Structure 1
Amino acid sequence: MNIQVYKPSQQAIGQFDGGKITEQKPIGFPGEGSHVKRVGPLFYWAWAKAEKAGYIPLHPHQAFEIITYVIEGKAEHGDTLGTKSTVGPGGIQIMQTGSGVSHEEGFVGPNMEGFQIWFEPFVKEAVKRKPSYTQFAHEELPTEVKEGYRLKTVIGEGSPVQLVADVQLFDLEINDGESLEFPVPDNYCLAMLAIRGNGAVNDTDFQHKDFIVLTAYGKTNALIEAKKGEKLRLIAILVPTEVDYPLYRK
């Protein structure tokens, strides 16, 4: 097992609409300066915020599977498939961009907060598929509540979200001083962003806004703990370290 913690200074930053939308990027695009270039099929990860509202005009995508997951506020979406839609807190938008689609985005507050994350299927096969758009509200995604934690499966077993790339995505909340044991299969990575509070994973400390990448060599249990006096919230993505198709070179 290997655990790496990347501070905000080791992540990329970005902005849109004259700074109305700001981003911290655990995994950025080439040249943006993020220390982590990708994690298996996890290609790009941006944590976006808009105090009031911001807009990104129509632009094209191809092949990648792109999700927008909302924490606060709402995300608006329009595309060349004819879609016009909005999702609120806890909701997810999914674009499987296939042979090509253009879309526009709005991030609406107050204090909008969400993620855009790109996953990479086999590009040569993906570009042959018809592009599609789907979305699901918070209430449609399975949530397990136990004493000490809440585990929401955004992508994975029980979720209605279906992707081609081998990925699972979780929204975790761990109460003050409590812990959660999370299984990580052999040759998989658990990539986590601490969006609230401070904690530790297998005795490795991390702080709010840190990006943590745990790589398993042999089946591993990640013991994730909230520090005393802290309520911890993490967005966690489980992906294989390697896939059986060539990945796009950044």
Structure 2
Amino acid sequence: MTNTATDLRLRVRPSHQRGHVDAGWLKTAHSFSFASYFDRNNMNFHNLRVMNDDWIDPAAGFPMHPHENFEIFSYMLEGALAHEDTMGNGSTVHKGGIQFMSTGSGVQHSEFNPSSTEKTHILQIWLIPDRKNTTPRYEMMDLGDAERDGKLQLFLSHDGRNGSIRTEAAADVYSGKLNGADTISFELNDERAVYVHVARGEVQINGETLSEGDAIDAEGQGQLLLNNGKDAEVIVFHLSPRH
């Protein structure tokens, strides 16, 4: 733990401490207890329940399977992901895109890498909703480079503001890119917490150097300062009080 003069409590989560699983067609790193990786002391952080870093082989993927009462999105880093579900949706999302499902009362879906030659790299993320058994929803959006260079783009929020996707979770989720002299600050001034995952590159957060796959969580009050980025891409979660 690192404490600042502003009572901001930080914890670095190194990439190598994640649960690493090789299923042949799927290579993944679990930031939280999931599937064959179990850690009763690392089930979630506030209402962030799943952060899976997945590499999917060409023409491979997840066959139709059910979900309920989770807010699930795929954050595309490389390649493409083809989606079908029992709501009648069929679509393909590419690098720089977001694929979101509010699973509510229940839905089934499949996800496959449609390429016969290229791997797909995604972050699959689950949030715990505040309301259960709502009507399932599916949405997609593309993240913009201009909206993220040296700043944060809100793409998922509890109220759907500023063109973001609305989620049933008490959470706001941002994507940002930093390089060179770029600086991003984020203020914590209430009971909510922040979790930052480094999707690519390298960045300093309050003086801690983090690389791809590393994360940091923050509770208390004070300012998170992100700077000294080297082709860095980060996802910033502003989460509900302890869930």
Superposition map of 1:135-214 within 5 A: 135-138=140-143, 143-145=147-149, 149-156=150-157, 157-214=161-218
Query: Does 1:29 pair with 2:34?
Result: yes
Partner of 1:236: 236
Distance 1:86 1:42, change over 3 A: same
Partner of 2:10: 3
- TM-score, L = length of structure 2: 0.84
Following TM superposition, by how much is the alpha carbon of 1:144 offset from its aligned partner in structure 2, in angstroms?
4.8
Distance 1:204 1:138, change over 3 A: closer
Following TM superposition, by how much is the alpha carbon of 1:31 offset from its aligned partner in structure 2, in angstroms?
5.9
Structure 2: tracts of 5 or more residues without a match: 1-7
Partner of 2:3: none
Following TM superposition, by how much is the alpha carbon of 1:231 offset from its aligned partner in structure 2, in angstroms?
2.5
Contact 2:15 2:212 (8 Å CA) reproduced: no
Q: Which runs of 4+ in 1 moved over 4 A?
A: none
Superposition map of 1:1-250 within 5 A: 1-15=8-22, 18-29=23-34, 32-33=37-38, 36-108=42-114, 110-122=118-130, 125-127=131-133, 129-138=134-143, 143-145=147-149, 149-156=150-157, 157-215=161-219, 217-218=220-221, 220-226=222-228, 230-242=230-242
The AA in structure 2 aligned to 1:162 is: R
Structure 1: tracts of 5 or more residues without a match: none
Distance 1:142 1:62, change over 3 A: farther
Cα distance in 2 for partners of 1:190, 1:199 equals 16
The AA in structure 2 aligned to 1:4 is: R
Cα distance in 2 for partners of 1:237, 1:142 equals 20
- TM-score, L = length of structure 1: 0.82
Following TM superposition, by how much is the alpha carbon of 1:152 offset from its aligned partner in structure 2, in angstroms?
2.5
Following TM superposition, by how much is the alpha carbon of 1:40 offset from its aligned partner in structure 2, in angstroms?
1.2
Distance 1:75 1:189, change over 3 A: same
Identical positions, percent: 23
Cα distance in 2 for partners of 1:87, 1:143 equals 19
Contact 1:22 1:48 (8 Å CA) reproduced: yes
Aligned length: 230
Provide the alpha-carbon RMSD of the alignment: 2.4
The AA in structure 2 aligned to 1:143 is: E
